[in-house]
Amino acid sequence: MGDVNSNVPLTAARSTGDAQLDRAVWQWLSWDKNQKTKEQIENLLQNGKHKELRDRLCCRLTFGTAGLRSAMGAGFCYINDLTVIQSTQGIYKYLERSFSDFKQRGFVVGYDTRGQVTSNCSSKKLAKLTAAVLLAKDVPVYFFSTYVPTPFVPYAVQQLKAVAGVMITASHNRKEDNGYKVKLNSEVCNASVKSLHSESNHDVGKTARKQSSI
């Protein structure tokens, strides 16, 4: 859909006066298909909230030891539809490159009961988006039909011999937060886990430079 380095400016009337921020705003408004989070960015732009726009759009979520975790809402450093789609695309690229049997063994997806009306964001919706990205790439997905505790995902990964899984949850964190916890099969060594985090961050960055549809 677009390239982060493309010079497609906002109109003069809508420009923030900061070329980097203008590009980030344009990317978000071009790529985000969630009307609620798109409106959040539109409202900040219209009200001249440039600092908040910069805080939301000029940084990115990065994978840590437990995956991703942040508040739900609009922006590249928040948990939302777009960042989950991009993160799943990055995970797919890493696993497809690293495991020749990934498309035979598949991927597990679970979720909890969290949700936020203001961003039209819920764990179940984010789980469905995760599954949609992988199914579009011909990866078998084992999707829980209802919300589950976090340990169900790694257990299912082992029992089904899947390569990996994701649990959409922020565990004990505040209700405004959500998370994207990646669980690899235990046969994968710790070095591969570390590689997953570093390479997925790289792949998510490349995905963001050229956003693709699911």
Told to judge if 192 belongs to the known catalytic residues of this protein, a careful annotator would answer: no
With beta carbons less than 8 A apart as the criterion, state whether 74 and 40 touch.
Answer: yes
Catalytic residue, candidates 171, 186, 195, 212: 171
35-54: b (≥16 Cβ within 10 Å) or e: ebbbebbbebbeeeeeeebb
Cα–Cα distance for residue pair 184/163, rounded to 1 Å: 6
Tokens of 212: 């693709």
Residue 69 phi, psi dihedral angles, 5° rounding: -155, 135
Tell me the two tokens of residue 109. 């997806």
Separation between Cα atoms, residue 188 and residue 80, nearest integer Å: 29
Residue positions annotated with a catalytic role = 171
